[in-house]
Amino acid sequence: MRSIISSPSGPLLGAVRLPGDKSISHRAVILGAIAEGGSRITGLLEAEDVLATVAAFRAMGVTIDRPATGQLLIQGMGLRGLHAPPKPLDLGNSGTAMRLLTGVLAGQDFCVELTGDVSLSRRPMERVITPLVQMGANVTSCDGCPPLQITPARELTGINYRMPVASAQVKSAVLLAGLYASGVTEVLEDAPSRDHTERMLAGFSKSTWAPGDRARVTGGGHLTGCNLIVPGDISSAAFFLVAAAILPGSEVSLPEVGVNPTRTGILSILAMMGADLNTANAGKAAGEPKGDLHIRGSDLRGIDIPERLVPLAIDEFPVLAIAAACADGVTTIRGAGELRVKESDRIAVMVEGLVRLGIKARALPDGMDIVGGRINGGAVDSFGDHRVAMAFAVAGARARGPVTIHNCEPILTSFPQFADQAVSLGLRLSERP
C-alpha cells in the first residue's frame, strides 16, 4: 500500500468493531511473558508493532501460541526466566516496544541489543535511559537514539522519579525495571499520562489499583498469569469519529471501545468543538473502562484546546488537526511539543500537508494554529507516519477533489484494517502502488 487516494465522500453510516488497543496489547504480551504460568489474551491487535513485541519474547524463549485470530496463549517464564536472544531484537517501528522492553531487559542477566527501522532509529531514547541509569541499569545508545545496548547491572535500586514530561512509555519502563529492583520504585507525574501499565500490573500481581499522580511497585515480587480481553483502540476510533463529525448526515457506531480516562481527550475535545457524540453501555475489559461510541455529523467550531487535555489525546492530534481544518474559526494547540518526537515531527508534517491542501495553518514550537476552511484536492506526504497517513485519508472525504497520500505502508503498524473498515462505512479510498 504505497499511496492512498481519498476522494470526496457522502455521509458515513454503519458500525464497525475496531481492532484491539495497541497500548494495551503491547503490555498484555510483556506482562504475560514475565508472569508465572499461562495467560490468554483475547482481542489482541495483530499489527506489525505488537507482532514485533511477540517476536521479541519468542526470541527470548517464551512460548506464545495463536489458537485463533486476535488470541494468544502465553506460557510465562517469570521475571527471571527469559533467555538471551540469538541476535539483536528488531522492534520495527515500535517506540512502545523499544521503551518498555528496555525497562524489562535492564533487570536481566544477559546482554541484548534493541534495534528498529530507520524511523525508530531517529527517535529519542534519552528520556527512558536517564531514569534507568539512575536505578543502576547499563544502557547505552547511539547519540541518544537506537540501537540500544543493554548489559547486566550489578543491582537495580528503586528510585523516586518525577517525570519532567508526561510520557506513559517512560513511566512504564521505570515501573517495569522496578520489578527487578530492590526496594520501592515510585513515579510522580505533574500531568496525567496513560495508566494502562499500572492497571495491568495490579491484575497480574493480584493487587488493587487506585488512580493518582504517583505509581509505585515493590521489587522482589512475582506476577501470575491471567486472562485478558483487550478493548477496541480509541486511537483507531478517532479517525472514524472525526470523519463522521465532519461529514453531514453521518451516523456511526463503534462498539466496545476502551474509554480509559487517560485516553479520552479526543472525546472531550470533539465535544468542545460541537460534535454530536455520546457513550453508552459502560463496562470493563482487562481492568479498563469500555463503552459504545456513537457520533453523528455536525457543525464543528474552532476552539483553544486546553493544555490539560493534550496528554490525554497526544496520539490523536493528527486527525484532530483535520477536524480543526473543517471547523468554523481558529483552533489553537499549545503544550504539545511531544508531537515533534513521534514517528514524524507531527507538528511540521501536519501543517505542511494542510497548507498544501489550501488550509491556513501555522506551526509553533509546541503546537499549531489552524484556520478552518475549504480543503482542496492535492497530494501530501505522510513521511512514513501511520497516523498522519490516516488523518489525511479522512481529510479527503471533505475535500473539493481527491487527496493522494504518499508513503502509507506504516498504517500496517497500528491499524491494518483501516482501509477496509473505512470503505465499509462509506469513505472512498483506493490504493495505488
Answer for the pair 139, 133: CB distance below 8 angstroms, yes or no.
yes
| DSSP H/E element including 353 | helix 346-356
Cβ–Cβ contacts within 10 Å for residue 202, how many?
14
> What are the residues facing 75 on neighbouring strands?
38, 63
User: Which one, of 375, 405, 412, 413, lies nearest residue 8 by Cα?
Assistant: 375
Answer for the pair 39, 252: CB distance below 8 angstroms, yes or no.
no
Sheet containing strand 227-229, strands side by side: 63-65, 71-77, 36-42, 227-229
Sheet containing strand 330-333, strands side by side: 330-333, 367-371, 360-364
Which class for 348: exposed (0-12), middle (13-18), buried (19 or more C-beta within 10 A)?
middle
3-state SS assignment for residue 233:
coil
Locate 251 and state its grid cell: 451516523
What is the SS3 assignment for 22-66? HHHHHHHHHHHHHCEEEEEEECCCCCHHHHHHHHHHHHCCCEEEC
Residue written as cell 494468544?
72
Distance CA 3, CA 356 (A): 17
Distance CA 107, CA 156 (A): 7
Enumerate the active-site residues: 315
Which class for 213: exposed (0-12), middle (13-18), buried (19 or more C-beta within 10 A)?
exposed
Residues 6 or more apart whose CB falls under 8 angstroms from that of 254 comprise 15, 16, 17, 18, 232, 237, 240, 241, 292, 293, 294, 295
Locate 395 and state its grid cell: 481529510
User: Which one, of 361, 352, 418, 344, lies nearest residue 379 by Cα?
Assistant: 352
Distance CA 311, CA 336 (A): 8
Distance CA 351, CA 66 (A): 41
Distance CA 349, CA 368 (A): 11
